[in-house]
């Protein structure tokens, strides 16, 4: 159903208000169990992953691209100006969809059906979370487990940076950070804690196992000492001998995740 | 010299105005040949790389951390409120420095003294440029060459994401995009164009050479067809067989750069 809306303050557009305001969005999205998908390709992938469409917000120019999705949902058609007025920025990808969240699998259930996982502890940057989902999907990781405080994969920026990979790879969120790693180990995973620490085992030398969990820590501080201590092994990415002299002693978490997934998880 | 400033509109703070406003900053920074370094560590690295300090902006709480740098320069000391009023956001790392740019080496001069380089064509995202500098420095790349339109490594976000690596690794900017790659080839570099194209040679199988240039394209479209055609070889990163089924057919440019630098350039 197509509905023309002329006013950025129209309450029917409430799902899309001020998409740039992270704090506002976080509470709005969790309270209403929604998230925003941006652009035709990502919207289609979210629909394909089973998320219900609450509504679509687009301009006259782009309605045609979503005509088959449109059939089943409410579509608000606005001018470019109203679009920018509602969201807080010009929307270049033509369409936004407000989607309903679906229940995540429990960690235990997910662990039972996968062999290669990445575990993210307290990453705060949505772009990093999205980029790691994309890497994981591209490089053969079966699933991702998030610590309780890790940033939301369905936040707009995560979804966008992941290019929709957040809908392609299953994930679950731990309820208990303190006991979370023990649960993964108890499920038969060899847990490898990635660290820049030079005394850790180089990735290429680490002993593999049937089931492997690669642990990645937060942007500033890396993995917590609790998880580092509990993991089966600390592993590191070999760097250039000159790097230390240059004052560069680590990689960013996306680069580290990419190298580790490429080199390790596909062995 | 310490100077207390009480007013965010004080013209002496002009270098630091509205750091979040990319368009304003781009013209201001190029016109005045300046850039902004953020946080004690990065400021020290910029100074160490030979950049002259124009001034420092900080709060009373943080002055002590920069006491030796402070000696030689003008330091504006402001309240947290004035700081946020000038820059447009709260500054958590305590200090900002306005630094003078220094002349970059010419591409030909730089090529004469290095063996392993990364060439960036038209990357638009400053965070990506910074992250690739960090990867390059960590993984043994000797230098970086930028296309004429590639984003500025000294833009605040680039510097920040690079963790100062933009001051650790030499770089140059081409004047001529069209003939730029030919110049690199003529200097004796084997040019490898990174692409998601499945018909390209997998990285691990590519023939190495004494001098190697890894070419990386822009975020949306990858390398231009002109460069792809002119490069000695198209190379790809091997992905999971399942990735295509998941609808993930490429990696983001930072992840790709990290894997390629790690796997290829250190051989």
Contact between chains at A240 and B138 (C-beta distance less than 8 A): yes
Mean pLDDT of chain A, nearest integer: 92
Residue B242 has pLDDT above 90, yes or no: no
Predicted local distance difference test score (pLDDT) of residue A209:
87
Contact between chains at A131 and B248 (C-beta distance less than 8 A): no
Predicted local distance difference test score (pLDDT) of residue B207:
85
pLDDT band, very low/low/confident/very high, at A245 (cuts 50, 70, 90): confident
What chain A holds in terms of domains, given with CATH numbers, is 2-100 (3.30.1330.30), 107-265 (3.40.1280.10)
Question: How many angstroms away from the CA of A12 is the closest CA of chain B?
Answer: 31
Question: How many angstroms away from the CA of B3 is the closest CA of chain A?
Answer: 32
Predicted local distance difference test score (pLDDT) of residue A266:
63
Residues 51-110 of A with CB under 8 A from B: none
pLDDT digits (tens, 9 = 90+) for A59-81: 998 888 887 877 778 999 999 99
Predicted local distance difference test score (pLDDT) of residue B123:
97
Predicted local distance difference test score (pLDDT) of residue B265:
66
Q: Which residue of B has its CA nearest to A131?
A: B252
Q: Is A116 on the interface with B (CB under 8 A)?
A: no
Residue B181 has pLDDT above 90, yes or no: yes
Q: Which residue in A125, A134, A144, A262 has the most chain B C-beta atoms within 10 A of its own C-beta, making it the best mutation to test that interface?
A: A262
- Residues of A within 8 A of B262 (CB-CB) are 237-238, 259, 263
Contact between chains at A248 and B45 (C-beta distance less than 8 A): no
Look at phi and psi of residue B30 and say left if phi exceeds 0, alpha if psi is from -120 to 50, else beta. Answer: alpha
Residue A112 has pLDDT above 80, yes or no: yes
The residue among A256 and B63 whose pLDDT is bigger is A256
pLDDT band, very low/low/confident/very high, at A181 (cuts 50, 70, 90): very high
pLDDT digits (tens, 9 = 90+) for A2-15: 999 999 999 999 99
pLDDT digits (tens, 9 = 90+) for B115-152: 999 999 999 999 999 999 999 999 999 999 999 999 99
pLDDT digits (tens, 9 = 90+) for B13-63: 999 998 888 877 887 787 789 999 998 889 999 999 999 999 999 999 888
Contact between chains at B134 and A247 (C-beta distance less than 8 A): no
């Amino acid at each position: 159903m197509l509905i023309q809306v002329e006013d950025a303050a129209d309450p029917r557009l409430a799902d899309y208000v001020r998409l740039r305001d992270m704090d506002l969005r976080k509470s709005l999205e969790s309270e209403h169990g929604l998230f925003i998908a941006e652009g035709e390709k990502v919207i289609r992938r979210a629909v394909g992953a089973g998320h219900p469409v609450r509504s679509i917000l687009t301009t006259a120019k782009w309605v045609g691209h979503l005509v088959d999705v449109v059939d089943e949902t409410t579509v608000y058609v606005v001018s470019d100006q109203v679009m920018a007025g509602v969201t807080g920025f010009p929307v270049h990808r033509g369409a936004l969809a407000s989607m309903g969240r679906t229940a995540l699998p429990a960690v235990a259930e997910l662990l039972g059906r996968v062999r290669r996982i990445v575990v993210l502890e307290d990453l705060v940057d949505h772009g990093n979370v999205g980029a790691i989902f994309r890497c994981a999907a591209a490089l053969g990781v079966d699933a991702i487990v998030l610590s309780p405080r890790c940033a939301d994969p369905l936040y707009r920026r995560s979804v966008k940076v992941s290019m929709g990979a957040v809908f392609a790879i299953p994930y679950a969120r731990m309820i208990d950070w303190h006991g979370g790693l023990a649960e993964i180990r108890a499920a038969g995973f060899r847990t490898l804690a990635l660290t820049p620490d030079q005394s850790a085992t180089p990735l290429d030398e680490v002993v593999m196992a049937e089931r492997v969990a690669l642990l990645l820590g937060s942007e500033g501080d890396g993995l917590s000492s609790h998880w580092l201590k509990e993991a089966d092994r600390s592993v590191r990415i070999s760097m250039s001998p000159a790097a230390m002299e240059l004052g560069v002693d680590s990689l960013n978490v996306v680069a580290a995740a990419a190298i580790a997934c490429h080199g390790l998880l596909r062995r």
